[in-house]
Amino acid sequence: MSGSAAARAPNRLRINPRTLAAAAAHIGRVPSGVILFVVVLVLFSAAVPEFLSARNVTNILLATSPLAILALGMALVMLTNGIDLSVGACISFISVLTAAVLGPGHPIWLSILAAILASALVGALNGMIVALMGIPAFIVTLGTMGIATGLALIIGNGQTLYWEKNWFNGVALSYLLGVPLAFWIVLVLFAAVLWIVHQSVFGRHIYGIGCNEEALRLCGVRIARTKIAVYALNGGFVGIASLLITSRIASGNPNIGVGWEFEAVAAAAIGGVTFMGGRGHPAFAMISAVTITMLLNGLGLLGINTSIQYVSVGAVLIVGMSLNILLERMTLLK
C-alpha cells in the first residue's frame, strides 16, 4: 500500500457526527412497541419451535383481536389527554347484558345492537362528564368502572349467564381465508381509525386537543363535542371487543373483563401514545397489542403460570415506557 493510500485509509473509518445524530433521531421516532415486537418475536421463535407454526400464529391472531380493538380505542382517548379505566368493567357489563338479551330468545341482531349501543352510551357519558364538568378522566372512568361492575353483577345476579346455542357462539372462532374472522374485524376497524387520524377533520381535532386544547378552542372548534365523540367511539370499540369475548366463552360472565383495561392502556402506552396527549399513533398501539399477546402466548408455551405472565406484562410496560423516553431523547440529538 502506498503512503498516500495508507494516509487515506483511516478516513474511511470516520463517522460524521451529524450522520450519527441524524441516525439516532430517526431511530428515536420508532416507538418501543415496534422494537419490543421484534425482540419478543425473535426470542420466542428461538426458544419455542412451535411458536411460529401456522396453528400458533392463528391462535395469536385470535387471542389478540379483542385487545387490538381496545388498544385502538384507548389510543384515540389518550391522544386527547384522557384515559378510560372503565374498559374492563364495561366488558363484563356488556358480556352479561348480551347474554341476558340472548337468553330469552331475542333476535341475535338485537343483542349485538344493544351491546354496541350500550357500550357507546357509557363512553359518551364518560365524555360528557369529562368535557362539560371538567372532571379528570381518571376520576370519571374510575367511577364508571364501579358502576359497570355493579350493573354486571345486578343483571346476572352474580352468576354466569348462558343461552341456547346459535350462530353467535361461533363468530369468534370462525375463519375466513384461513384467518380468524375476529382479526378481519380488527383490520376493518384499523382501516377506519387510519382514515380518521389521516384524512378527517375529526382526527386533526383529536391531535389538536392533546397538543393545545386552548388554542383549538380559540380557533372555534367545539372541544366538548369532539371529546364526547372520541369517548363514544372508544365505547363502541369496547362493545365490539366484548361481543368477541362473549362469543368465544359462549356465556355472559360478570368477571370476564378483569384486567383488560390494564392491557389496553399498556398497549397504547408502549406503542408511544403519551399520557399527555397529542403524540403517538394508534397503529403502534395495535402492534403493541400483538406484542403483549405474543408474550403471553410464548410464556404459556414455555409452561410459565398465569401470575408470572402478568408480572411480565407489567415489566414490559415499564421497560417500554423507559425505552420510549430514551428514544425521545435520541431525537433531540438531531
Nearest 5 degrees, angle CA 293-CA 296-CA 299? 145
Is 274 part of any domain? yes
| Total domain count, the chain | 1
What average pLDDT does this structure show over 298-309? 87
- Which residues lie closer than 8 Å to 312 by C-beta, 6 or more apart? 295, 296, 299, 304
**Structure-model confidence comparison of residues 9 and 216, the more confident one:** 216
- Whether 6 has a pLDDT exceeding 80, the answer reads no
* Percentage of residues of the chain with pLDDT beyond 90: 57
**CB-CB contact of 88 with 259 (8 Å):** yes
Is 72 part of any domain? yes
* Cell matching residue 289: 397489542
pLDDT given at position 226: 94
pLDDT given at position 293: 93
DSSP per-residue string spanning 102-146 = HTTT--HHHHHHHHHHHHHHHHHHHHHIIIII---HHHHHHHHHH
Helix spans in the chain (H):
3-8, 17-28, 32-47, 54-79, 87-102, 108-128, 137-155, 181-199, 201-218, 223-249, 260-270, 282-301, 306-331
* Percentage of residues of the chain with pLDDT beyond 70: 90
- Whether 218 has a pLDDT exceeding 90, the answer reads no
- Whether 144 has a pLDDT exceeding 90, the answer reads yes
Question: What's CA 257's distance to the chain center, in Å?
Answer: 14
What average pLDDT does this structure show over 279-298? 91
Nearest 5 degrees, angle CA 132-CA 135-CA 140? 105
Residue 79 carries which side chain, given as an amino acid letter? L
Residue 300 carries which side chain, given as an amino acid letter? G
CA distance 287 to 108: 32
Is 195 part of any domain? yes
Is 148 part of any domain? yes
Please give the DSSP secondary-structure letter assigned to residue 162: -
What average pLDDT does this structure show over 9-24? 44
Q: How far is CA 243 from CA 9, 118, 157, 238, in A?
A: 65, 12, 20, 9
pLDDT given at position 313: 86
Residue 305 φ/ψ, nearest 5 degrees = -70, 165
What average pLDDT does this structure show over 122-147? 94
**Structure-model confidence comparison of residues 313 and 25, the more confident one:** 313
Is 194 part of any domain? yes
pLDDT given at position 330: 65
Note the pLDDT tens digit of each residue in 17-37. Answer: 444 344 334 444 677 788 889
- Is pTM, for the whole model, over 0.85? yes
Is 28 part of any domain? no
- Which residues lie closer than 8 Å to 257 by C-beta, 6 or more apart? 87, 88, 89, 90, 91, 92, 93, 95, 152, 242, 245
Handedness of CA 114, 118, 119, 124 (dihedral sign): positive
**Torsional class of 81: left (φ above 0), alpha (ψ -120 to 50), beta (otherwise):** left
What is the torsion angle, in degrees rounded to the nearest 10, for the CA atoms of residue 103, residue 107, residue 112 and residue 115? -50
What average pLDDT does this structure show over 50-74? 94
Beta bridge partner(s), residue 179 = 176
**CB-CB contact of 89 with 152 (8 Å):** yes
CA distance 203 to 41: 32
Domain of 200, in residue numbers: 66-280
Confidence of residue 310 (pLDDT cuts 50, 70, 90): confident
pLDDT given at position 274: 80
* Cell matching residue 41: 418475536
Is 225 part of any domain? yes
Note the pLDDT tens digit of each residue in 222-253. Answer: 999 999 999 999 999 999 999 999 999 888 99
Q: How far is CA 35 from CA 40, 114, 115, in A?
A: 9, 39, 36
**Structure-model confidence comparison of residues 152 and 307, the more confident one:** 152
Using alpha carbons, select from 323, 297, 282, 332 the residue that is nearest to residue 45. 297
Is 115 part of any domain? yes
